[in-house]
Amino acid sequence: MAHGGGCGCKLSPAVLSSLLSNVSEAQSFKQLLVGTETGDDAAVWQVDERTCLISTIDFFTPMVDDPRDFGRIAATNALSDVYAMGGMPIFALAILGMPLGKIAPETVRQILDGGRELCRVAGIPVAGGHSIDTPEPIYGLAVNGVCAPSALRRNCEAKAGDVMILTKPVGVGIYSAAFKKEALPPADYADMLASMTMLNSIGAELAKDSGVHAMTDVTGFGVLGHGLGMARGSGLRFVLRSEAVPLLPRAIELVQQGFVTGASGRNWESYGAAVALPADYPLWRRQIMTDPQTSGGLLVACAPDRVDTLLRRVRDAGFPSTSVIGEMHVGAAGIEIV
């Protein structure tokens, strides 16, 4: 019932940039610490000297057939934006669009139940929401969270010399493309689902470490798109070791068989000019780097002397694939793949 799915149905970075190009960057509200200026994960409003309110909204069409799984994935993805800012969610509101007469009420209830289930895991309620009749199924959450001003982490405050850590394996879009063609075995579906429903709550813990300078989550624009956003916002060059990027077990095999989402190509068309590739860089590897991730991992910029401690902390929290994938350097803002 959906033309696209998950974060792969997001507008391309180029289209989004054109839509926001005439939005004033003037911060006329002193308490608005984070708005649209760097394409960060959430808006942040400073309530008082001890508290910041983090607010975000995220919804999409389904990328799986099971309604409960769809609800769980969408909720995990929406909650991630708060964790990526260094905050803890406090409550959520549901966004629901369903094609009336085409989907049974019981199926819709399962979607909502899946979202509430993940919110319970996060320790928050779904306190309300809004629903409309739509041509395609849509579900997601508006999430509010809080953090101390000192714990706020943006995507634009990486420092030269920072080491870049990625906490989840890449390849969700590739797996979903195979799933749509009925070419993804149950075990691989389970791997994909486990990744997409793993809460990024470790972000709130990482933000308490002064050696963590910047964070974002990797979603629809892929590793390259979100890494580029961090590099541009920080005015640095992200030297990315693509062979170090953690992958789902069959990502290489499946992408070489041609399982690629349309969003992967749109991503490259949007920002490829800012990415320096080796002369012999294979197309399939580039497609992995632009692969849209639904509920992907955190991309963390941290001081070199904190890397070993942070890697242990994140892996111990249930992210065994966590890896160092590059460094930030002084230079023209962009990405250089080595």
Active-site residues, by number, are 7
159 touches 234 (CB < 8 A): yes
Return d(Cα 219, Cα 225) in angstroms, integer: 9
Return d(Cα 287, Cα 255) in angstroms, integer: 8
Distances (CA, A) of 259 to 83, 151, 211: 31, 40, 39
Instruction: Give the other-Cβ count within 10 Å of 12's Cβ.
Output: 20
Give the distance from CA 221 to its chain's centroid.
8
Q: β-pairing, 43-48 with 298-302? A: unpaired
Return d(Cα 111, Cα 62) in angstroms, integer: 10
Rounded to 5°, angle at Cα 96 from 270 and 294: 40
Sequence letter at residue 229: G
Return d(Cα 222, Cα 7) in angstroms, integer: 10
Helices (H) and strands (E) in the chain, counts: 11, 13
Instruction: Give the other-Cβ count within 10 Å of 109's Cβ.
Output: 13
240 touches 170 (CB < 8 A): no
Among 249, 285, 248, 235, which Cα is nearest to 264's?
A: 285
3-state secondary structure of 289: helix
- Distance between terminal CA atoms of the chain? 40
> Which of the 8 DSSP states describes residue 301?
E
Query: Tokens standing for 177?
Result: 């493309």
